[in-house]
Amino acid sequence: MRARSQGFTLVEILVALGIFAVLGLASSQLMTRIIEVRDTVSARGARLAELQRAMDVLQRDVLQATQRPVRDELGDELPALRVAPDVPLELTRLGQRNPLALPRSEAIRTAYVLADGALVRLIWPVLDRANDTLPLRQTLLTDVDAFEVEIVDVSGNEHGYWPPVGDVGEDPATRLAGIKVAITAAPFGDVQRIWEIAQMGNRWSEVGGP
C-alpha cells in the first residue's frame, strides 16, 4: 500500500494564514490604541503641570501683594492693585529676591495680560517707570482662550474694575477680601481659583503710600 501523506492541505494552510492575519491585525490595533492612550495621558499631564505652574506664580504674586502705588511712563500714579479691561491684573508685590544684597526695593511691579493666545506675566525692573522703562515678559501658559480677574469684596460682590470709584470706593462693605481668577484653556475648559486676602487688610493699611 502507498504511504499516506503527512503534510497540510492547501485549505488548512489558508485557514491558518487567515487566523494569523486576524490575530496580527487585532494585536496591531490594540498596540496602536495603547500608544494613543499613553500619548494622550502624557500630553494631559504635561498640560496640567503647565497650568499648575501658572497658577502657582499667580498665587505667589497675589498673596504677597502690598499697598504701594507706582508711577507709569507718563508720571501718572497707578494704584497698588489694578483690574481693568486693558490689563486684567496689575499689582505691586513684595518678596523680590536679592541674593547679592543690592541697594534696591524688595517690591516689584507685575501684571498679567493675554497676548496672542498666551498668558503673559510682565515684570518691571523698577517701581516708578521712566519713559524708556520696558517690562520683562514671561510666558506662563499657552493656548489660553480667556483670562479674567474679578475682585471679591467683604460682602461677596465681584468687581470687574478695581479700585472702585466714587461712593462705592468709600463704602466699608466693598473692602478688598479676595481675588478671583478664571482661565479658559483646553482641554480643561474653565479653571477658577479664589485667593482670600482679607488677612492682608492690616498690612495694606499700614504700608500705604509710595
Q: Summarize pLDDT for 87-129 with one digit per residue, the tens.
A: 999 999 987 776 666 556 788 999 999 999 999 999 998 899 9
Query: pTM for the complete prediction?
Result: 0.74
Cβ count within 10 A of residue 47: 17
Contact 194, 62 (CB under 8 A): no
Average pLDDT over residues 162-185: 80
Distance CA 199, CA 99 (A): 28
Three-state SS at 15:
helix
CATH code linked to domain 58-207? 3.10.610.10
